[in-house]
Structure 1
Amino acid sequence: MSLSPRIHLHDGDLPDGLDLGSVVAVDTEAMGLNPHRDRLCLVQLSAGDGQAHLVQIRSERLGGRGADSPNLKALLSDPAVTKLMHFARFDVALLQHALGITVGPTICTKIAARLVRTFTSYHGLAHLCRELLGVELAKQQQTSDWGARTLSREQLNYAASDVLHLHALWDKLEALLVREDRREIAQACFDFLSARARLDILGYEDPDIFSHRA
């Protein structure tokens, strides 16, 4: 289903033969922030070409296919395709838990921002897009009901906006990482994200096994 020249909604899976290139921006929407409790509802993807592909994940109770998404799973687990995300720790954990795959390789613009923009505590996507790209992202739909059988045009426009600018944002942040000689340590963080997400799913957020607490 095409909503506009730049937003395409797919029911349950990506279409056969869709090529999104070697670096794909990815984001998710769920019923909440607990991957154990809150189901995955939407996966947004963009090749950085101004178009967004939104895959609505509906449970069988809502007439959907559940986690039967072979094309989406193949893309997210393809080692030849880098998944570009903002706050990848959450998205990777949610996708791995909901779809039963290992997501990688990944790049996280939030980690990149925290490594090089140490002069500020503002590392949210909307703030970074405003500061680095001059782009304003509307956030009114952030806490809306993503589990509805039919999503509104406002929800879909909001969801698309979260991936449409990630390539440009990464270009800015990667240049800063190189300038500050932190590109290598950033990559080490990115490479650990799949394991960190698995630890989160296993419940090792608290206690944090990296903490010095007894």
Structure 2
Amino acid sequence: MTTEPALALVDAPEAVAEIAAAIRAAGSFALDLEFMTEGRYVAELSLVQVGWGDPDGPEVRAIDPLKVDAREIAELVADPDVETVIHSAQADLALLGQVFSVRGRGIVDTQIAAAFLGLGDQIGYAALVERMAGVYIDKGSQFTEWSRRPLTDDQVRYALDDVRYLPGAWRQLRAELETQGRLPWVMEECDRLAETWAERTPPEEMYRRVRGWNSLRRRSQGALRALAAWREEEALRVNRPPSWLLNDRTMLEVARRPPRDLNELRSVRGLGEGTAQRYGRILLDAVEQGMEDPPPAEDTPPRVPNLGQSWPAILSGIVQARCREASIAPRFVATRREIDELIAWWLVGDRSSEPDLPLLRGWRRELVGADLLDWLQGKTAVIVDPDSEAGLTIRG
């Protein structure tokens, strides 16, 4: 039987400790976060909702992180002995990593679980609940200013609904995954993504995320690396988007044609007077130091012979076919980069050992990786087949 809690937010440390203890005893809980991103680099955590106990009627609570430390809940997410059920977990896990420095263990993302059952690549929570429980969730409070207090009863009730139905949905998804033998696939994928989502690119590597960085000469790359590292650290310090300090295009131009003084810096297109006034000397020093300490030269990737240039489309077709047959979104199985690396290995690499690629390991190899290797080795052929679901068949 569903327990309807008081809609007052939990804002006492002892109450948070009691909730954490109850969740730890249960061994599993549903989690959702509300946060504000507007004008911020790191989102402001504004509400923490948890649900635990009987999936048919879990205990649900909303914790106010603006008044009480929610670290005990975050530490549960990092506990491999506690199952954490989240829908569309990426943003939540990234925020927990930024605020509490935790990496999720025992994570279950019900959106991923649904995708592995053919319920859509990125099914929304409301659609999942309607499908699993036949319950319609009103999304009227979706764009609430969650950092504003007090919250209305309707807003808190809406927030609690985000965890109220998760345990029951996961129970159904889990049963179907076990029936199809895909539960290990989902758990492996959730764990892999949880690690990825908790990672933050080091400041000294942020320059690689600037489009066009690899077109620069090495000394200019050093300048860009120093500028991007400064921008990242300053953006975190003031909690403002990096582009508010210095946009990518302007930063690339400063690195490409290093200004010699403040006057030349002010003449760079896109660099505001306020930025030049506040940070001008810092930027000039960063450019100078970066040029004196450029990054190591990049290894030149082996050139793939022309005969392999049409192969990505063929291998991607095999991936698409197997994923369609299995009702799994291709993005979970193989990336274009992995396919390119596989082809490069086959044509110009050392065939005595396979490359370390996810698509050649575990369930991905079982689903499609072995087929890709068979095609490369000439053991199979891809045949156009308009009558098949994928439009082609693989024949050995």
| TM-score computed with the length of structure 2 as normaliser | 0.46
Q: Does 1:30 align with 2:35?
A: yes
Distance change in 2, residues 1:130/1:122 (3 Å): farther
Distance 1:25 1:205 in 2: 34
Moved more, 36-45 or 126-135: 36-45
Please tell me the residue identity of whatever aligns with 1:22. Answer: G
* Paired residue type of 1:56: D
Q: CA deviation at 1:121?
A: 5.2
Task: Give the distance between the partners of 1:135 and 1:206, measured in 2 at CA.
Answer: 44
**2:48 match: secondary structure:** strand
Alignment of 1:28-107 (within 5 A): 28-32=33-37, 36-49=41-54, 50-58=58-66, 64=67, 68-107=69-108
Which stretches in structure 1 are left out of the alignment for 5+ residues?
59-63
Moved over 4 A (4+): 203-207
The CA RMSD measured in Å over matched residues stands at 2.9
Number of residue pairs matched by the alignment: 200
Q: Please say which structure displays the higher CA radius of gyration.
A: 2
TM-superposed deviation, 1:124: 0.7
Please give the secondary structure, in 2, of the residue aligned with 1:107.
strand
Percent identity, aligned pairs only, is 25
Q: 1:61 aligns to what? A: none
Higher relative contact order, structure no. (Cα contacts within 8 Å, ≥ 6 residues apart): 1
Please identify which structure carries the higher strand content: 1
24-33 vs 130-139, which moves further: 24-33
Aligned equivalents of 1:34, 1:112: Cα separation in 2: 33
CA positional deviation for 1:9: 2.1
Contact 2:83 / 2:108 at 8 angstroms: preserved in 1? yes
Distance 1:48 1:206 in 2: 46
Residues 143-179 of structure 1 deviation map (CA, whole Å, 9 limit, x = unaligned): 1101113212111101100101111101111122123
Following TM superposition, by how much is the alpha carbon of 1:15 offset from its aligned partner in structure 2, in angstroms? Answer: 2.6
In the other structure, the counterpart of 2:130 is 130
Determine helix, strand or coil for the equivalent of 2:16: coil
What aligned pairs does 1:1-214 form with structure 2 within 5 A after superposition?
Answer: 4-5=4-5, 7=7, 9-11=9-11, 13=13, 14-18=15-19, 19-20=22-23, 21-32=26-37, 36-49=41-54, 50-58=58-66, 64=67, 68-118=69-119, 120=120, 123-199=123-199, 201-202=200-201, 212=337
TM-score normalised over the length of structure 1: 0.81
CA distance in 2, matches of 1:29, 1:170: 21
CA distance in 1, matches of 2:144, 2:107: 27
Letter in 2 for 1:115: F
Distance across 1 between alignment mates of 2:115 and 2:126: 15
Residue aligned with 1:30, SS: strand
Segments of structure 2 that go 5 or more residues without pairing to the other structure are: 212-334, 342-396
Identify if the C-alpha distance between structure 1 residues 205 and 160 changes in structure 2 by more than 3 Å, giving closer, same or farther.
Answer: farther
Instruction: Output one character per residue of 1:84-140: Cα deviation in whole Å (capped at 9) or x when no partner.
Output: 11011221111121222222221010000111125x456111111111211111111
3-state DSSP class of the match of 2:31?
strand
